[in-house]
């Protein structure tokens, strides 16, 4: 299914080709002065030139050293939508470079961008979430998002944002919740994510399962996933044709089944047949997670009894090219063969 994309076109009255000087010929200190100019057109043209320049990591380093980030932070609240659009675009391009990510985190850009979560212009919000997504991939960036108190509003935005932005939010959450889940659980993230597992777009289903995987890796998250009835929904994704959906879904199941409640829920939802199907598929990227999930189910008497009939499926995995799959299969066979 085709997905509508957010347009990055400027308003028709803005012509970026009329910038006073071409790319590479404007001195960065002069550009910084122009960003602080009271003249709207001067600010717009300076931002357009800067958008080109910051594709070069060296220019990003120089811009940070010259204090550009303070000027850009001030422009995030500008009343002109073109200024906000180009400012967020500059920041999103800077976030593509390691030196840019480090500078944005150090200079408090995360908190400054928080005010744009409700911006009326779609592309401004998209650029903002692209920055959050990139910065959250660093531990200190994820910590910055958490410290800025952004987890509750991000969870809330999952229920109202455009699909393209929802993908970015889910990416941000997956990295932040690797650090801690308390704020997300308090904000009701699990039922929202459960709903996203049946979203029309597979990319959103996959990323929702990824976030649930991170939530399930925490003790309190495992309980929430069970209590909200997420396990049957995850099982329904195992037949998805996209490998990343299967990988994330089986990963979330693997963590959720660590608890007795999770294993009981999975058995009640007939989890063994679809998981065995993934184990039998030699090219399945979800194979390792599926084996580990079934090993947990083999700890239940009824699970062990069922899996004894499929011991040969695990034996075939002993010749898998992946050493991790081989080791997981060995452990699974040991658990299945165990006699009380």
- Averaged pLDDT, 227-253: 94
Contacts of residue 107, Cβ cutoff 8 Å, sequence gap at least 6: 64, 69, 70, 73
**What's the pLDDT score for residue 141?**
97
pLDDT in tens, 27-77: 889 999 999 999 999 999 999 999 999 999 999 999 999 999 999 999 999
Angle at 77 between CA 72 and CA 83, to 5 degrees: 60
pLDDT per position as a tens digit, 142-169? 999 999 999 999 999 999 999 999 999 9
DSSP designation for 116: G
* Two structure tokens written together for 313: 């499926």
- Give the CATH fold of the 17-187 domain: 1.25.10
Give the pLDDT score at 118: 97
Mean pLDDT of the chain: 92
pLDDT at 91 over 80: yes
Q: What is the pTM of this model?
A: 0.90
Residues 6+ apart with CB under 8 A from 1: 200, 201
The domains of the chain are located at 17-187, 190-339
pLDDT at 4 over 80: no
Q: Is 38 exposed, middle or buried (0-12, 13-18, 19+ CB in 10 A)?
A: exposed
CA distance 100 to 165: 22
Top-tier CATH class for 190-339: mainly alpha
> Mapping DSSP to helix (H, G, I), strand (E, B) and coil, where does residue 15 land?
coil
Confidence of residue 17 (pLDDT cuts 50, 70, 90): very low
Q: Is the dihedral of CA 157, 158, 163, 165 positive or negative?
A: positive
Burial code of 73-112, b = ≥16 C-beta within 10 A, e = fewer? Answer: bebbebeeebbbbbbbbbbbbbbebeebbebbbebebbeb
Closest CA to 296 of 339, 265, 340, 323: 265
pLDDT of residue 332: 97
Q: Binning pLDDT at 50, 70 and 90, where does residue 282 land? A: confident
Structure tokens at 77: 């609240």
pLDDT, one tens digit per residue, over 286-314 is: 999 999 999 999 999 999 999 999 999 99
Looking at residue 11, its pLDDT comes to 59
Can 17-187 and 190-339 be said to share one CATH topology?
yes
């Amino acid at each position: 299914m085709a997905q509508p994309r957010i347009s990055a076109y400027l308003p028709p009255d803005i012509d970026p080709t009329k910038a006073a000087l071409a790319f590479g010929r404007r001195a960065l200190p002069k550009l910084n002065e122009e960003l602080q100019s009271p003249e709207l057109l001067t600010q717009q043209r300076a931002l357009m030139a800067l958008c080109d320049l910051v594709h070069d990591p060296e220019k990003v380093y120089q811009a940070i050293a010259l204090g550009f980030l303070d000027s850009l932070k001030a422009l995030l609240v500008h009343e002109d939508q073109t200024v906000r659009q180009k400012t967020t675009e500059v920041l999103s391009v800077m976030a593509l470079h390691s030196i840019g990510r480090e500078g944005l985190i150090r200079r408090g850009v995360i908190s400054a961008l928080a005010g744009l979560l409700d911006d009326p212009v779609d592309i401004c919000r998209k650029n903002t979430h692209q920055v959050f997504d990139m910065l959250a991939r660093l531990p200190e960036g994820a910590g910055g998002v958490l410290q800025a108190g952004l987890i509750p509003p991000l969870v809330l935005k999952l229920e109202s944002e455009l699909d393209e932005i929802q993908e970015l939010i889910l990416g941000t959450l997956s990295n932040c919740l690797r650090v801690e889940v308390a704020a997300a659980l308090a904000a009701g993230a699990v039922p929202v994510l459960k709903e996203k597992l049946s979203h029309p777009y597979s990319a959103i289903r996959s990323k929702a399962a990824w976030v649930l995987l991170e939530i399930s890796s925490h003790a309190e998250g495992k309980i929430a996933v069970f209590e909200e009835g997420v396990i049957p929904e995850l099982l329904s994704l195992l037949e998805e044709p996209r490998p990343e959906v299967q990988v994330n879904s089986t990963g979330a199941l693997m963590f959720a089944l660590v608890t007795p409640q999770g294993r009981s829920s999975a058995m009640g939802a007939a989890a063994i047949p679809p998981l065995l199907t993934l184990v039998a598929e030699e090219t399945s990227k979800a194979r390792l997670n599926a084996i580990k999930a079934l090993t947990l189910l083999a700890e239940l008497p009824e699970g062990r009894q069922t899996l004894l009939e499929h011991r040969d499926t695990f034996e075939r995995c002993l010749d898998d090219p992946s050493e991790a799959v081989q080791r997981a299969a060995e452990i699974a066979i040991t658990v299945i063969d165990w006699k009380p």
